[in-house]
Structure 1
Amino acid sequence: MQIGIPCLFMRGGTSRGPYFLKEDLPSDERVRNKILLAVMGSPDERQIDGIGGATTLTSKVAILSPSEHPWADVDFLFAQVNVLTPKVDVSPSCGNILAGVGPAAIEKNLVSADVNGKTTVKIRAVNTGALIESVVCTPGGQVTYEGDTAIDGVPGAAAPILLNFMNIVGSKTGKLLPTGYLSEEIEGIQVTCIDVAVPMAIAQAEALGKTGYETKAELDADTAFLERIEAIRRIAGERMGLGNVANSVIPKFAIIAPPRQGGSITSRYFVPDTCHAAHAVTGAICVASCTLLQGSVADGMAKVTDSEQQNIIIEHPSGKIEISLVIRQQGSEIVIERAGLLRTARLLFSGNVYISSHLWT
């Protein structure tokens, strides 16, 4: 026998996956993870027996519930379902899947839509504790997905969704610079270990023998390079206080280079064992923040003004992503208060996804 679990299947930003209500899944984490693996069809390189898309960007899950946080309306638990191994990782969050949380919360009646045109959904990212405002277009009290906002990595255009990230510094470690250094040597490479929206280890592409302008396919094919950055990432994770990160997707890793297409900086972001086809939202916030820090590996690559709002455009394999950072000066240090950006989302289908009933026991 099979049982059906209600869900919305949505594109959020440059990612895609099912959006569940927490109440529709088992409370036991081990049982829940077995079900999520079955839903997506993992482990299998094609995910042929599930609804996963056989890539890291299309093997993601959102779990929503009413929030008990005094500020938030909705709790959002993100799950990265591994394509090739029976593993579900809930340590990171995902800014792209986050783009669909506001619309999904309204569609699932967790939040009432404002008939005047826009609805602000206050979200707590359970994985990291981050607080985010999602401003969704709701003319007539219904979510609209049609619009003229285009984001690189997604064909066509859709209605804009404004995401404002609050309390982004120290998402996992509690510190902007978890190791206490703006730049340090790991395996002979200068690296900045930074935690803004997501913990990351960032290095200059040139130092690793790359230009920084390579395609995803070119970087994914260089196994020696991937092994080298993985070795650096694991050491960085230990130094950042994250312990043994061999089986964790954080900290993330990025290589950076000067811009070539009119942006502020070029980045190739790893997730972590392959290159992202575009760029993660949280990773973009972290890379953008790194450009503001004098003495970091990104120092001097982007033009930084004296303004309290810094707009940093990151060039990636599929185009560009723009991050707006609100900062203030505190003595000789920069304090990053919040980050904002535009994303889009689309509801693909609504219904039940079916799994074998024995998995629920």
Structure 2
Amino acid sequence: MNGQLHGQWYRGGTSKCWLFMGDEMPTDRAQIAHALTAAFGSGDDRQLNGVGGASSTTSKAAIISPSAIPGIDISYLFAQVGIGRSAVEFTSNCGNCASAVALFAIQNGLVRPTGDLTTVRMINENTRSVLAAEVATPGRTVPTDGSETIPGSTMPGIPVDVCFEGVDGTSTGELLPTGKPVETLAVGSRTVRVTGIDAGAPACFVAAADLGMTATETQAEMRLRLPELIGIRELASAAMGLTLPGEEVSPAVPKVGILGRPCDYTTTTGERIDASDYDIAVRMVSMFDPHPAIGITSAIAAARAAFVEGSLVRDLIDPDRLDPVDGHALIRLGTPVGVVACRVQVDSAGDVTRLGIRRVARRIANAAIDLPEIDLAATHPESTLPLVG
């Protein structure tokens, strides 16, 4: 039976994602995956028969519902839609898309503007992370356009500060799922040091030096090392308890990337970045390709790891950068597109309570998407997330 999805296409940060209301989608995740792969044209590596953008950062979706949890405005289920294969990953979160979700909530009347800044409190159904996004709503108006830019895009958008709260162990129950700040993995003939951390989303950071790298490599240079990095992701997934022996490893989690000390490098747009401009170099993998910038959940995990004694980030970063001023520290990450800063809030006991990154978002289109052979008769107006504290 043919069906139709009514969705809105948004840019959030350096990603693009289709956003749908919960009552537009089928009841369970298998049906949602079926609908999304049809809508995106996932079976084709160019996604020509659908609305997908044929890259990991533009083949994303979120399903949004009002929340029944006290103090939470909305819940959303994030979906990483396959490219060249009809599959959907529901195992992670996307902070870039979270900025779009917050703007969507205001533009679609789920949250009313309360002042020049409006806070949208959200819970991510994939990881159960709680996010608070501050959206610019000048004069308590619903914004339609903005003029701010971020590293990775010269195109302007509406400013959104995305903050993660209570990130420790949201997916696995442990901040350090391997039980150690640094784990050693045997990858072919190499032995590499990794920090596996669950902060906002599970991530595995590799010491670039162990791979003969600097973490300032170009996209082309990173692409040559993908087999090794994907192999490390598979080993780390088992070490972090994300997969059992014989289970297929998710291409989405753990997030995997390399870390190095600051050194001069040139961004993908030709901008020269001086070593003094940032605190740690990071290059990440997105599914099966180098990430063109950095995923926000990866940035959050890296910044959180800076405050874990013995972690690779902690050992590579200048200790002075970890001293909070007025309860905040700023961790600057050197990425392929430039410096991305993560603000870390620390309480009087030295514990990390909140991490945030500045994004921009805008609505691109409002559309009805025709679906072949999809039964959309059953819908779920309520979030399926259990009530949690």
Q: TM-score, normalised by structure 1?
A: 0.93
Contact 1:193 1:236 (8 Å CA) reproduced:
yes
Alpha-carbon offset, residue 76 of structure 1: 1.0
**Residue in 2 that maps onto 1:164:** 163
Return the match for 1:193 from 193, 196, 205: 196
Distance 1:45 1:154 in 2: 24
Q: 1:85 to 1:217 in 2, by over 3 A?
A: same
**Superposition pairs for residues 97-136 of structure 1, below 5 Å?**
97-114=97-114, 116-136=115-135
Give, in angstroms, the shift of residue 141 of structure 1: 4.3
Aligned ranges for residues 336-355 of structure 1 at < 5 Å?
336-355=352-371
Paired position in structure 2 for 1:324: 343
Letter in 1 for 2:330: N
**Residues 48-63 of structure 1: pairs in structure 2 closer than 5 A:** 48-63=48-63
Aligned to 2:317: 302
Residues 91 and 250 in structure 1, CA contact (< 8 A), matched pair in contact too: yes
Map residues 198-217 of structure 1 onto 2, 5 A cutoff. Answer: 198-217=201-220
Identify the residue that residue 250 of structure 1 maps to in structure 2. 253
Residue aligned with 2:76, SS: strand
Contact 2:306 2:322 in 1 (8 A): no
What is the distance in 1 between the residues matched to 2:106 and 2:372? Answer: 29
- In the superposition, relative to structure 1, how do residues 104 and 208 fare at CA in structure 2: closer, same or farther (>3 Å)? same
* Larger RCO (CA under 8 A, 6+ residues apart): 2
Hey, what does 1:20 align to over in structure 2? 20
d(CA) in 2 for partners of 1:93, 1:124: 10
2:302 to 287, 295, 308: 287
Q: 1:147 to 1:124 in 2, by over 3 A?
A: same
- Bigger drift between 290-299 and 24-33 goes to 290-299
How many residues are matched?
354
Is the 1:313–1:320 Cα contact (8 Å) retained in structure 2? Answer: yes
Q: Is the 8 A contact 2:3 2:376 kept in 1?
A: no
> 1:84 offset after TM fit, Å?
1.5
AA in 2 matched with 1:342: R
Once the two structures are superposed, residues 141-196 of structure 1 have per-residue CA deviations (whole angstroms, 9 ceiling, x without a partner) of 44324334221111233231111211111121111111111112101111111111
1:173 is matched with 172
CA distance in 2, matches of 1:306, 1:88: 41
Secondary structure of 1:289's match?
Answer: helix
Whole-Å separation in 1 of the counterparts to 2:348 and 2:176: 17
**C-alpha distance in 2 between matches for 1:352 and 1:142:** 27
1:311 corresponding residue in structure 2: 330
**Separation in 1, partners of 2:40, 2:132:** 28
Residue 245 of structure 1 deviates from its aligned partner by: 5.2
Amino acid at match of 2:343: S
* Residue 252 of structure 1: how far off its partner (Å): 1.1
Give the secondary structure class of the aligned counterpart of 2:288. Answer: coil
Shift of 1:306: 2.7
Q: Cα offset for 1:248?
A: 4.3
Distance, in Å, in 1 between the alignment partners of 2:376 and 2:65 is: 20
CA displacement at 1:78 relative to structure 2: 0.3
Match of 1:147 in 2: 146
Would the aligned equivalents of 1:43 and 1:85 in 2 still touch at CA under 8 Å?
yes
Letter of the 1:110 counterpart: L
Any conservation in 1 of the 2:25–2:376 contact (CA below 8 Å)? no
Listed one character per residue, the Cα deviations across residues 45-104 of structure 1 (whole Å, up to 9, x for unaligned) are 111011111000000001100111122110011000011111101110000000111111
* Structure 1 vs Structure 2 CA RMSD: 1.8
Per-residue deviation, residues 241-280 of structure 1 (Å, max 9, x unmatched): 2124523421111101112331111100112422100000
Q: Retained in 1: the 8 A contact 2:283–2:294? A: yes
3-state SS, counterpart of residue 106 of structure 2? helix
151-160 or 280-289, larger mean C-alpha shift = 151-160
Q: What is the DSSP-based 3-state SS (H/G/I as helix, E as strand, rest coil) of the residue aligned with 1:353? A: strand
- Paired residue type of 2:369: V
Q: Could you tell which deviates more after superposition, 257-266 or 139-148?
A: 139-148
Change (3 A) 1:258 1:233: same
The SS at the match of 1:5 is strand
For residue 228 of structure 1, give the secondary structure of its aligned residue in structure 2. Answer: helix
Q: Which residue of 2 aligns with 1:274?
A: 289
- Equivalent pair of 1:253/1:272 in contact (CA under 8 Å): no
Question: Which residue of the partner structure matches residue 137 of structure 1?
Answer: 136
**In 2, distance between residues paired with 1:350 and 1:144?**
16
Say yes or no: does 1:259 pair with 2:259: no
Residues 106 and 328 of structure 1: is their aligned pair in 2 closer, same or farther, counting only changes over 3 Å? closer
Percent identity at matched positions?
31
What code does the residue aligned with 1:152 have? P
Q: Distance in 1 between matches of 2:329 and 2:181?
A: 20
Give the match's secondary structure for 2:35. Answer: helix
Using structure 2 for the length normalisation, give the TM-score: 0.86
SS at match of 1:337: strand
Aligned to 1:42: 42
User: Are the counterparts in 2 of residues 124 and 132 from structure 1 also a CA contact under 8 Å?
Assistant: yes
Q: Is the 8 A contact 2:282 2:335 kept in 1?
A: yes
Counterparts in 2 of 1:297 and 1:139: CA distance versus 1, 3 Å = closer
Change (3 A) 1:204 1:94: same
